[in-house]
Amino acid sequence: MIGGLRISLGALRRNAKTLRGLAAPACAAFVVKSNAYGHGLVATARAIEAYADTLCVYSIEEGIALREAGIAVAILVLGPAPVELLEDALACDLQITLWDSGTYLETVANTARRLGKVFRVHVKVDTGVRRLGLDPSQAPNAILRIAQTPGVELAGIFSHLASAEELDSAFTLAQVETLNAAIDAAKLDAKPLRHIAASAAAMLWPQTRLDMVRYGIALYGLWPSKQTRAAMPQELQLEPALSFESRIAAVRRVEAGTAVGYGGTFRAPRPMRVGVVPLGYADGIPRALSNTGAFAVAGKRCPIAGRVCMNMTILDLGATNARPGDRVVLIGHDGGSAVSADDWADWAGTINYEIVARLPASLTRTYEDE
């Protein structure tokens, strides 16, 4: 085994159950886009479907893959829906996102009417992130037009928060007010689902839960931020579902002063043993972990020595007696030692979202069901 991921389906289920309880009485949507944040799209969706009112994906292709795998729960496509895929989306009963009440709306409606169906849509309002969404000043009229268009059913109206991880954010509350004001001004006969909260907001700002919460990173047992974890009661527990393991491919002895790796950025401070792990940045290990990160071997953290290579990483084996073939834990627990996705994020100067989402689909994923 060169290396692979282990995913706990039990941890995913327990996290989903916990988060669904937190959202109540609001509905619970779980975000499985980007290969379920690296955990595997179909396997993750199957594991948590019983706890989900909706599954959120980014692309129509992801939604189709879930339907082909037998997933029956509602699926919302958060990203752009290309015109050439609208018929496929409709055939798979996917709900799509609209932020246009002009030509594109007519294309969506005409597609549905031509096929004798109705497209369920969620309208996105830009309340502050400045990516996709209707301008709040134009949203009421656009929402009303969409709601009155034959062939289209307005299933939801939503937005996305810009700084929900902050413990004191007037901007977060202002965004919620902006969304609610746009919906109220549209004067709809029937109220669609309102949703704006993702993981952090649902935890820190109960008033943002509205009618549905979209849980992303928390589903996978990772906290949106250190501040979020610190602010939540200890009884609210999340379980990281993913671990990453490999084995030592080779062990070498190097003398004091010997350069190790590309560019000689590491020089042995003493006679030492180094081990080669047959995984590198092509396998999702950030190059920024060079000379900074560590993996667990024989229950001890072993620092990365030198630059992370495309397909290999060198470790200072220190006082361990590790030999070729011994297990290396890149993410997870090994005896009394542990390395987390948050550790990687700290070492790389990024966030845990990026660490897991960038784990390649080519890595072997083994699913364990307690």
Domain end (from 196, 231, 266): 231
Residues 32 and 171 in one domain: yes
Instruction: Please say if the pLDDT value at position 183 is more than 70.
Output: yes
In a domain, 285, yes or no: yes
Supply the CATH number for residue 47's domain: 3.20.20.10
- Please check whether residue 237 lies inside any domain of the structure: no
Same domain, 182 and 251: no
Residues 184 and 165 in one domain: yes
List the single range of 226-230, 308-312, 344-348 with lowest mean pLDDT. 226-230
Two tokens at 42? 């179909």
54 lies in some domain: yes
- Residue 113 has a pLDDT of 98
Last residue of a domain, one of 231, 264, 283: 231
Mean pLDDT over 54-64 rounds to 98
Q: Is pLDDT of 164 > 90?
A: no
3-47 residue pLDDT tens = 999 999 999 999 999 999 999 999 999 999 999 999 999 999 999
Q: How many alpha carbons lie under 13 Å from residue 129 in its C-beta half-sphere? A: 17
pLDDT digits (tens, 9 = 90+) for 242-293: 999 999 999 999 999 999 999 999 999 999 999 999 999 999 999 999 999 9
Helix (H, G, I), strand (E, B) or coil at 107: helix
The number of folded domains in the chain is 2
Residue 4 lies in a domain: no
Cβ proximity of 56 and 30 under 8 Å: yes
Q: Per the structure block, which two tokens stand in for 172?
A: 């977060």
Asked if the model's pLDDT at residue 1 lies above 70, the reply is no
Pair (186, 260) in one structural domain = no
Write the CATH number for 273. Answer: 2.40.37.10
Over residues 36-63, the mean pLDDT reads 98
Instruction: Return the pLDDT at 353.
Output: 98
The residues annotated as belonging to the active site are 33, 262
Q: Where are the beta strands (DSSP E) in the chain?
A: 3-8, 27-31, 54-57, 74-77, 94-98, 119-124, 152-158, 193-195, 212-215, 242-247, 250-254, 259-260, 266-267, 272-277, 294-297, 300-303, 313-316, 327-334, 337-339, 364-368
In a domain, 3, yes or no: no
Residue 144: domain span: 9-231
Rg, the chain, Cα only: 24
Mean pLDDT of 36-60: 98
Question: What's the pLDDT at 370?
Answer: 75
Mean pLDDT of all residues in the chain?
96
Among residues 231, 258, 290, the one where a domain terminates is 231
Q: Is position 84 within any domain? A: yes
Entry pTM:
0.96
Is residue 246 located within the same domain as residue 209? no
DSSP H stretches of helix in the chain? 9-23, 33-37, 41-48, 60-68, 86-91, 103-114, 139-147, 170-186, 199-204, 226-231, 341-348, 352-357
Residue tagged 């007010």 (tokens): 177
User: Do 201 and 253 share a domain, yes or no?
Assistant: no
